[in-house]
């Protein structure tokens, strides 16, 4: 058998075949001479013949080049793809923001892991629940992703509960979302004759808010679930939501979203959390109230200030309170508007941990690379209708002037009439009772860039991470955002929207140091730094503790004996 060792130096498959054939002949002769058991010899002979066949069929290993080493898609996935497959996968990724190449090759009915809280499996639900209409919104979504969403909804929702699916196409241009999708929908209708499937197609792109309202108008079921099309529902997703709504028709519910990673489409468990927002109206997760956690049961629904966008509500109640603001453009802000409206106009919002929906988290949104353009406009619209004396907090979050910001928010007269007709509570009530974690910023006096009129330079947060603010040419972008409070703190580089966060204060570190510091305000206080400043627009910026001034000398930011240098902040909220 020592001849096998020579495989490492043989150059071709043909040479290996010759060696193995020779071995087979020698083994056959030895068996005849020694009288070895014939059956055993045959078995051994066949094994070596199979080995020979493997040698003939084994493909030559071909090393492929990684064509897109900097693409997020190929950071963890796609190591075995050919160059042609890599190009296809990358092109699809750029078009959709997630891995369509892989999605097209996954089963439409793939199993999802049970990621619910353990106590959820022990719960039972009423049989006489209201029926459900599911609204799916899409714009140039991948066909396989929509198919998988439809398949999961139909197979994981009890037939006696699922009345209809409304598919709202916000003017997609992809050809496969026309004929090919129609064929698949007809197949589903044949397989599920009691299920109503409706397609609504816009003749122009109207945005998420309008599309969701279109789906609501087409629905006839007791309850509507308004979902994105890049989702897969888990088993028992509907029953917990419908149970909450059956008990209280004014509650708007949300499932817990598991994350489907954009590259390998794996499902990552997300813990139940409240769905909240900051003053720029970007959505975010945060903890439920302390009272919720005292119950020590993570399967219980928790109150939430807002929704992330996907929600389930009684259809008629949603109509009574104004569905969604159809004046919103493209994306963003409509979820916060709904949350504020529901809470202040007689309803409530709950996250239901025993309901799980897997949601693809796109790497990028192809339909609008810069979402901030639409977000600014929509946020200002929400503020104008719902936020009363706190509406200027939206301006400061986006560093926009209070007046003449140049952004057209559209006609809001009908939404204001709706608020008046419903006799909704003021926004102060919402801050006090629903979202006390949101910092009202009610003692903020001014914000924007802080310019030294003598040096013609601006206060800047400097390198991050770091604690050394600097003087820099004025550009008025986020590193130069400053905020002056009536109590004397001067924040640089942004302001936090929530009371549980700590801002960074300009500080006079000590009298022996001319370098100013930039530290978290609580940390600076603990270390005895001076964080309170006396300031009047167009005059000096003097530290209240050391009596020294913040000045610029030879383009360097210093704290030194006051020489009368003047500062001016961009936007004034209240006279000071």
Q: Is residue 418 part of a domain?
A: yes
- Measured from the Cβ of residue 283, the count of other Cβ atoms closer than 10 Å reads 17
Q: Is residue 448 part of a domain?
A: yes
Confirm if 409 and 377 have CB atoms less than 8 A apart. yes
Do residue 415 and residue 462 come from a single domain? no
Q: How many helices (H) and strands (E) does the chain have?
A: 16, 24
Q: Is residue 72 part of a domain?
A: no
Do residue 187 and residue 211 come from a single domain? yes
Report pLDDT for 369. Answer: 72
Burial annotation 68-106 (CB, 10 A radius, 16+ → b, else e): beebebbeebbeebeeeebeebbebbeebbbbbbbbeee
Pairing assessment for the beta strands 482-485 and 490-492 based on DSSP bridges: antiparallel
- Give CA–CA dist 494/447, Å, rounded: 10
Q: Is 434 helix (H, G, I), strand (E, B) or coil?
A: coil
Do residue 169 and residue 53 come from a single domain? no
Q: From residue 331, give the alpha-carbon distance in Å to each of 227, 235, 309, 335, 519.
A: 14, 29, 10, 10, 35
Q: Is 363 helix (H, G, I), strand (E, B) or coil?
A: coil
Q: Is residue 295 part of a domain?
A: yes
CA-closest candidate to residue 151, choices 140, 162, 160 = 162
| CATH code assigned at 491 | 2.80.10.50
Q: Is residue 91 part of a domain?
A: no
Report pLDDT for 63. Answer: 62
CA-closest candidate to residue 220, choices 314, 145, 312 = 314
| CATH code assigned at 388 | 1.10.8.460
Q: How do the pLDDT tens digits run along the chain, 576 residues long? A: 433 333 333 333 344 444 334 443 444 444 334 344 434 443 444 454 455 454 444 445 456 789 999 999 999 999 999 999 999 999 999 999 999 999 999 999 999 999 999 999 999 999 999 999 999 999 999 999 999 999 999 999 999 999 999 999 999 999 999 999 999 999 999 999 999 999 999 999 999 999 999 999 999 999 999 999 999 999 999 999 999 999 999 999 999 999 999 999 999 999 999 999 999 999 999 999 999 999 999 999 999 999 998 999 999 999 999 999 999 999 899 999 999 999 999 999 999 999 999 999 999 988 777 888 899 999 999 999 999 999 999 999 999 999 999 999 999 999 999 999 999 999 999 999 999 999 999 999 999 999 999 999 999 999 999 999 999 999 999 999 999 999 999 999 999 999 999 999 999 998 889 999 999 999 999 999 999 999 999 999 999 999 999 999 999 999 999 999 999 999 999 998
* φ and ψ of 560, to 5 deg: -155, 180
Do residue 25 and residue 46 come from a single domain? yes
State the DSSP string of 286-355.
E---HHHHHT--TTS-EE-S---S-EEEEHHHHHHTTSS-TT--SSSSHHHHHHHHHHHTT-EEEEEEEE
Pairing assessment for the beta strands 223-228 and 311-314 based on DSSP bridges: antiparallel
Q: From residue 507, give the alpha-carbon distance in Å to each of 434, 538, 545, 548.
A: 34, 20, 10, 11
Tokens encoding 311 = 């929600």
Q: Is residue 544 part of a domain?
A: yes
Confirm if 97 and 366 have CB atoms less than 8 A apart. yes
Q: Is residue 9 part of a domain?
A: yes
Tokens encoding 350 = 């709950």
Do residue 181 and residue 207 come from a single domain? yes
- Give CA–CA dist 560/576, Å, rounded: 24
Do residue 188 and residue 276 come from a single domain? yes
Do residue 346 and residue 323 come from a single domain? yes
Q: Is residue 369 part of a domain?
A: no
Q: 336: phi > 0 → left, psi -120 to 50 → alpha, else beta; which?
A: alpha
* Distance from chain centroid for Cα 137: 17
- Measured from the Cβ of residue 316, the count of other Cβ atoms closer than 10 Å reads 11
Report pLDDT for 149. Answer: 98
What value, to the nearest 5°, has the Cα angle with vertex 438 and ends 434 and 442? 115
Do residue 247 and residue 161 come from a single domain? yes
pTM to 2 decimal places: 0.86
- Give CA–CA dist 298/292, Å, rounded: 9
Which structural domain, as residue segments, surrounds residue 221?
119-360
Domain final residue, candidates 360, 384, 407 = 360
What's the total number of domains in the chain?
4
CA-closest candidate to residue 550, choices 462, 471, 467, 463 = 471
DSSP 321: T
Q: From residue 345, give the alpha-carbon distance in Å to each of 153, 204, 337, 422, 446.
A: 31, 32, 12, 6, 32
Domain final residue, candidates 386, 412, 433 = 433
Confirm if 551 and 565 have CB atoms less than 8 A apart. yes
| CATH code assigned at 246 | 3.90.550.10
Cis peptide before 235 (omega within 30 of 0): no
Do residue 320 and residue 277 come from a single domain? yes
Report pLDDT for 170. Answer: 96
Confirm if 96 and 177 have CB atoms less than 8 A apart. no
Domain final residue, candidates 360, 395, 413 = 360
State the DSSP string of 6-46.
GGGT--SHHHHHHHHHHHHHHHHHHHHHHT--HHHHHHHHH
- Give CA–CA dist 554/504, Å, rounded: 25
């Amino acid at each position: 058998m020592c001849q096998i060792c020579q495989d490492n130096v043989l150059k071709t498959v043909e040479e290996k075949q010759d060696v193995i054939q020779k071995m087979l002949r020698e083994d056959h002769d030895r068996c005849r001479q020694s009288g070895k058991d014939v059956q055993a010899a045959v078995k051994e002979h066949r094994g070596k013949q199979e080995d020979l066949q493997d040698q003939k069929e084994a493909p030559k290993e071909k090393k492929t080049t990684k064509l897109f080493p900097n693409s997020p898609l190929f950071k963890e996935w796609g190591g075995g793809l050919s160059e042609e497959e890599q190009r296809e996968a990358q092109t699809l990724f750029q078009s959709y923001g997630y891995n369509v190449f892989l999605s097209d090759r996954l089963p439409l009915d793939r199993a999802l892991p049970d990621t619910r809280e353990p106590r959820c499996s022990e719960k039972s639900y009423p049989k006489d629940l209201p029926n459900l209409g599911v609204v799916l919104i899409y714009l140039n979504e991948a066909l396989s992703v929509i198919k998988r969403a439809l398949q999961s909804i139909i197979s994981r929702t009890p037939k006696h509960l699922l009345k209809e699916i409304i598919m709202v196409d916000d003017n997609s241009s992809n050809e496969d979302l026309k004929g090919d999708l129609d064929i698949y929908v007809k197949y589903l209708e044949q397989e599920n004759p009691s299920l109503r499937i409706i397609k609504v197609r816009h003749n122009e792109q109207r945005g998420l808010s309008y599309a969701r309202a279109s789906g609501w108008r087409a629905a006839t079921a007791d309850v509507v679930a308004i979902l994105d099309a890049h989702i897969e529902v888990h088993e028992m997703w509907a029953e917990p939501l419908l149970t909450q709504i059956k008990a209280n028709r004014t509650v708007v519910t949300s499932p817990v979203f598991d994350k489907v990673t954009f590259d390998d489409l794996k499902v990552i468990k997300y813990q139940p959390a409240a769905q909240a927002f900051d003053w720029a109206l970007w959505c975010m997760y945060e903890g439920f109230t302390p009272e919720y956690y005292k119950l020590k049961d993570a399967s219980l629904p928790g109150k939430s200030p807002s929704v992330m966008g996907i929600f389930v509500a009684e259809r008629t109640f949603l109509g009574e309170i104004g569905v969604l603001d159809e004046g919103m453009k493209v994306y963003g802000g409509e979820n916060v508007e709904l949350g504020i409206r529901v809470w202040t106009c007689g309803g409530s919002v709950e996250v239901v941990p025993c309901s799980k929906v897997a949601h693809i988290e796109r790497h990028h949104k192809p339909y609008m690379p810069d979402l901030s353009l639409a977000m600014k406009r929509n946020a200002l619209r929400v503020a104008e209708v719902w936020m009363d004396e706190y509406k200027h907090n939206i301006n400061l979050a986006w560093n926009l002037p209070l007046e003449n910001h140049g952004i057209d928010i559209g006609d809001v007269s009908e939404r204001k009439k709706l608020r008046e007709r419903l006799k909704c509570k003021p926004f102060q009530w919402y801050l006090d009772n629903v979202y006390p974690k949101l910092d009202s910023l009610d003692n903020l006096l001014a914000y924007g860039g802080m310019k030294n009129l003598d040096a013609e330079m601006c206060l800047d947060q400097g390198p991050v991470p770091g604690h050394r603010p600097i003087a820099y040419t004025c550009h008025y972008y986020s590193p130069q955002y400053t905020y002056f409070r009536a109590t004397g703190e001067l924040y640089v580089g942004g302001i936090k929207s929530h009371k549980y966060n700590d801002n960074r204060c300009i500080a006079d570190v000590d009298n022996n140091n001319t370098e100013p510091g930039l530290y978290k305000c609580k940390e600076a206080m603990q270390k005895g730094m001076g964080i309170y400043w006396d300031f009047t627009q167009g005059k000096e910026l003097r530290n209240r503790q050391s009596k020294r001034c913040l000045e610029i000398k030879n383009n360097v930011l210093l704290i030194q004996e006051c020489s009368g240098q003047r500062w001016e902040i961009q936007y004034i909220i209240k006279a000071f």
